[in-house]
């Protein structure tokens, strides 16, 4: 099955009444993570503070999405699973990595939701920066969740190994009463060329070509950053990571396609959605910049579907979970330095306090 047909058919939302499980999606965005879960039969309820993104969710998924800015005191309905991508700016490798000192940190909200709802399973994803300067914080989160009675496992995963035509690394954390297996890598990869097809060589009506001054700016940017190969889209490999910044902004690392005649143009929203594994029938609500942001912030739906399948297996009779060592996708153990326990425990107590 070709890539476009695969995402258009396999990602169609449906409700599996035999499964009968409800998922809360916190910080849901436009619904990329929820779409993966609905595609295998889960019922979803989303929470998203931006109205355009919430409307996109409602327009395409079966479940409802509440336009609401969450805090540690938010009340939630009963649910079997909680999923989400707590705001990741504090832990981005490209950011300042302020962690707990950054007001954009969404983990206290996510943890308070788990304490309140006590779901059977939870899943959260975050940028790989959570394994670097702030890896002690991930360990604190895991220890806190273990104290709530969950077995927690995590892995650094790349969506390109799970049917997404994009090199997109994310930290995935599973929690349940028994350990949930991580999905196995697929036996194929999808290139940007396979995903875009004829779109890559066409000139759409809304095409935005790079001006000579932009070309010069990019050349200077790549020289200063010691970039060996131009950062154009290469059709014979998965795309580099899509972000809000390189989709919506006229920056040196913007996502762009080089046409046969040598001209370069920015990716359209349709092309960006394809590379993020959104089906062609998925319609985004909002202006162009907002749509780029929705796409760049989303969990790739086809990757999410692979994660959702493993959680669905967990709910099947006779599921056999095992304790797996924490490894990355290359089989390397993920180890932590010994934390400063007193300091970190006080930090975690402070941020999880519902009186804060």
What are φ and ψ of residue 200, in 5° steps? -70, -25
Q: How far apart are CA 274 and CA 281, in angstroms?
A: 11
Q: How far apart are CA 196 and CA 117, in angstroms?
A: 41
Say which of 30, 65, 88, 352 is annotated catalytic.
88
- The angle that helices 3-10 and 301-314 make with each other, rounded to 10 degrees, is 50
Q: How far apart are CA 282 and CA 13, in angstroms?
A: 11
Q: How far apart are CA 253 and CA 244, in angstroms?
A: 11
Residue 224's Cβ-side half-sphere holds a number of Cα atoms within 13 Å equal to 8
244 is catalytic: no
Q: How far apart are CA 329 and CA 332, in angstroms?
A: 7
Would you say the C-alpha torsion 309, 312, 316, 322 has a positive or negative sign?
A: positive
What are φ and ψ of residue 259, in 5° steps? -80, 160
Catalytic residue annotation: 88
């Amino acid at each position: 099955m070709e890539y476009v047909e695969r995402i258009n058919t396999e990602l169609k939302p449906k409700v599996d009444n035999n499964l009968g499980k409800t998922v809360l999606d916190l910080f849901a965005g436009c619904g990329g993570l929820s779409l993966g879960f609905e595609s295998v039969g889960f019922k979803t309820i989303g929470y998203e503070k931006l109205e355009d993104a919430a409307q996109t969710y409602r327009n395409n998924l079966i479940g409802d999405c509440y336009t609401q800015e969450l805090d540690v005191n938010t009340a939630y309905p009963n649910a079997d699973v909680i999923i989400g991508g707590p705001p990741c700016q504090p832990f981005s490798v490209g950011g300042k990595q302020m962690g707990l000192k950054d007001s954009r940190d969404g983990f206290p909200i996510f943890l308070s939701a788990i304490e309140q709802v006590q779901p059977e399973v939870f899943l959260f994803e975050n940028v790989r920066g959570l394994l670097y300067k702030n890896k002690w914080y991930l360990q604190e989160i895991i220890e806190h969740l273990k104290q709530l009675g969950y077995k927690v496992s995590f892995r650094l995963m790349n969506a390109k190994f799970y049917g997404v035509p994009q090199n997109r690394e994310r930290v995935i954390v599973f929690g349940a009463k028994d350990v949930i297996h991580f999905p196995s890598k697929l036996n194929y990869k999808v290139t940007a060329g396979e995903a875009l097809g004829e779109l890559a060589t066409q000139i759409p009506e809304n095409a935005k070509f790079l001006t000579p001054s932009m070309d010069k700016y990019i050349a200077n940017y790549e020289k200063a950053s010691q970039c060996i190969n131009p950062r154009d889209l290469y059709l014979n490999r998965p795309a580099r990571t899509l972000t809000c910044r390189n989709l919506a902004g006229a920056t040196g690392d913007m996502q762009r396609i080089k046409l046969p005649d040598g001209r370069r143009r920015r990716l359209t929203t349709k092309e960006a959605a394809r590379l993020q594994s959104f089906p062609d029938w998925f319609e985004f609500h909002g202006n162009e910049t907002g749509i780029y942001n929705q796409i760049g912030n989303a969990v790739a739906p086809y990757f999410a579907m692979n994660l959702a399948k493993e959680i669905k297996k967990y709910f099947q009779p006779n599921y056999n979970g095992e304790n797996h060592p924490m490894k990355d996708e290359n089989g390397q153990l993920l180890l932590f330095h010994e934390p400063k326990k007193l300091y970190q425990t006080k930090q975690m107590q402070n941020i999880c306090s519902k009186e804060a």
